[in-house]
Amino acid sequence: MSSVSRHINTTRLIRTYNASTLLQTLYRHGSCSRTQLAKLTGMSPATITRITAQLMEQGIVLEGKVGKSTGGRKPVYLHIDHSKLYIASLKLLRDDCRAALLDLKGNILEKKHLPWGEGPEQFLQQAVAALQAMFAHAGVKDQQILGVGVAISGICHPGEGKVIRSVNLDWVEVPVAELLGSALQVPIFIENDANACALAELWLGTARDAANSLYLKTEEGAGAGIISNKALLNGSHYMTGEIGHIPLIPQGQRCRCGQRGCLEPYVYFGDVQARYADKTGRQVTREQFLDLIRSGDGAALELVQETADALALACAHWSTLLDLDVITIGGFWGTLQNEVIKRCQDYCAATAKQSGLPCTVTITGSSFKNEDADLLGAAGLVIDRWFAPLSVPFRR
C-alpha cells in the first residue's frame, strides 16, 4: 500500500475534485460566500452547498461573518479552519538537515535541527523520531497532518517517492517516501530542493500571482525550479533546472566540474569566498563579506558585480525562453537589491529593448529567510499536492 493511499477520511474528502477546487478557492481568496464560491469555481449552488456541508462536518471549513443582504438571504462567509490542518516538512542538505511543523499559512510552529546519520535508513529513522516528537509536543494527531514534504538536494522521482541521485547527500536510489511512510501514517511527498522552493514561492511568496515563474537556488550551488502555468516542470528525466554546470560565460571562472563559466562558481558562496581570499589574502564569513560590500570594499564589490553579471545573463535567457512573469533569486545574492536584483532587472530590460520585445519579467529576492526556504519549500510541495487544481492527477 502506498504512503498516500494509507491516509484517512478527512484527507480522502479533500482529495475529491470538488472539495479540492473549493478549498483551493478558499485558500487563495481567504473567505467567500457560497454564491461567490459558485461563481469562482463554476460549480452549481447545490454542489457548493453539499461540499461545504461535508467540509464543515469534517471541521475543515467554518462559517464566519455574515454579509449584507442584496435582496435575498444574508450571505455567510466561509473560511478554512487553519488550526485544524498541519504540514510537516524536512529539509535534507548534507550540511543542514531540519524538520519543521507548519500551519496551512506556512507559519513555522516548531523546527528542529537533525544530526546527520550514517546512512539513509539511520538518518530517516532519526527524522521520523523528530517529527513524532514535534507532533506530540504540539498535540497534533496524524489525521490533522496533510503530509510530510521533503526537499532534497538532488535528482528526485516524486511519483515513486525516491531520490534518484544526490551528490550532496551521497545517496543513490533511496526510497525516501517508503522509508518514512512505513513509520509515519501520513502521505509523504518528495521533491528536489529548488523545485520545492519554487512551489513555496508560488503558494506563499513572490510568485503567488504569477502563472510562469522560476526560482533560482544559490549559495550551496545553482539549481532552478520552474513553474509553468502554475504547475511545476519536472521534465522527462526529473532534471529540469539542473543548470549549475552548463557553461554560460565563455572563458569564465573555472568550476570544480572541470569546465569554465558555469553558473555554480559565481553563486556558490564558498567559491566566491575563496576568490576573495585569493585577491586579498583574507578569509571572510558571509556577514563580513556583506559588511565589506556595504563599506564599499573594492575586491568585494568586484566579486559581487561578477556574480550579478552572470545572474543577469542567465535571467535574460530564461525570462525570454520561458516567457516568465517572475524570477526569484534565493539566498544571499537575492538580498542584494541594488548590486544584484536591480542589475539583473536592468539587463533584462535593456536586452529586451534591443531585441524589440517588451520586458515583462520581475526579478526579486525570496520572501523567505534563507535557512527556512527549503522547509517552506517542502511545505509548499504538500500545499501544491492538496490544493492545486486537479486537472493534474493527485500523484504526479
DSSP state of 109: E
Give the torsion sign (CA, 256, 257, 261, 265): negative
| Cβ 235 to Zn ion shortest distance, Å | 20
| Secondary structure element (H or E) that encloses residue 202, with its range | helix 193-204
Stretch that binds Zn ion, among 17-25, 186-194, 262-270, 315-323 (CB under 5 A): 262-270
Dump the DSSP string for 129-198: HHHHHHHHHHT--GGGEEEEEEEESSEEETTTTEEEEETTTTEEEE-HHHHHHTT-SS-EEEEEHHHHHH
Give the residue with the Cβ less far from Zn ion, 12 or 256.
256
Give the residue with the Cβ less far from Zn ion, 52 or 253.
253
- Window 319 to 338, contacts with Zn ion (CB under 5 A): none
Which residues are CB-neighbours of 391 under 8 A, at least 6 positions away? Answer: none
**Cα atoms found within 13 Å of the Cα of residue 375, Cβ hemisphere only:** 24
The residue from 37, 108, 216, 255 that contacts Zn ion (CB under 5 A) is 255
| Cβ 245 to Zn ion shortest distance, Å | 3
| Cβ 207 to Zn ion shortest distance, Å | 27
**Cα atoms found within 13 Å of the Cα of residue 247, Cβ hemisphere only:** 13
Give the residue with the Cβ less far from Zn ion, 264 or 297.
264
Stretch that binds Zn ion, among 224-232, 243-251, 329-337, 369-377 (CB under 5 A): 243-251
- Window 263 to 302, contacts with Zn ion (CB under 5 A): 264
| Cβ 268 to Zn ion shortest distance, Å | 10
The count of chain residues that interact with Zn ion, using the rule CB under 5 A, is 6
* Residue 245 touches Zn ion, criterion: CB under 5 A: yes
Q: Please give the Cα distance from 62 to 59 (Å, whole number).
A: 7
Task: Please give the C-alpha separations between residue 248 and each of 206, 308, 351, in angstroms, as whole numbers.
Answer: 26, 13, 16
Angle at 32 between CA 27 and CA 37, to 5 degrees: 90
Q: Which residues in the chain belong to E strands, given as ranges?
A: 31-33, 61-66, 76-80, 86-93, 96-103, 108-114, 145-152, 155-157, 162-166, 171-174, 188-192, 213-217, 223-228, 231-232, 326-329, 362-365
Stretch that binds Zn ion, among 48-56, 67-75, 248-256, 323-331 (CB under 5 A): 248-256
Beta bridge partners of 231: 228
Stretch that binds Zn ion, among 170-178, 256-264, 266-274, 330-338 (CB under 5 A): 256-264
| Cβ 255 to Zn ion shortest distance, Å | 3
The residue from 204, 262, 336, 341 that contacts Zn ion (CB under 5 A) is 262
Give the residue with the Cβ less far from Zn ion, 274 or 357.
274
* Residue 84 touches Zn ion, criterion: CB under 5 A: no
Count of CB atoms within 10 A of residue 24's CB?
18
Binding to Zn ion by CB under 5 A, coded x per residue (else -) over 186-225, reads ----------------------------------------
Stretch that binds Zn ion, among 116-124, 245-253, 308-316, 366-374 (CB under 5 A): 245-253
* Residue 257 touches Zn ion, criterion: CB under 5 A: yes
Stretch that binds Zn ion, among 127-135, 186-194, 252-260, 363-371 (CB under 5 A): 252-260
Q: Which residues bind Zn ion (CB under 5 A)?
A: 245, 255, 257, 259, 262, 264
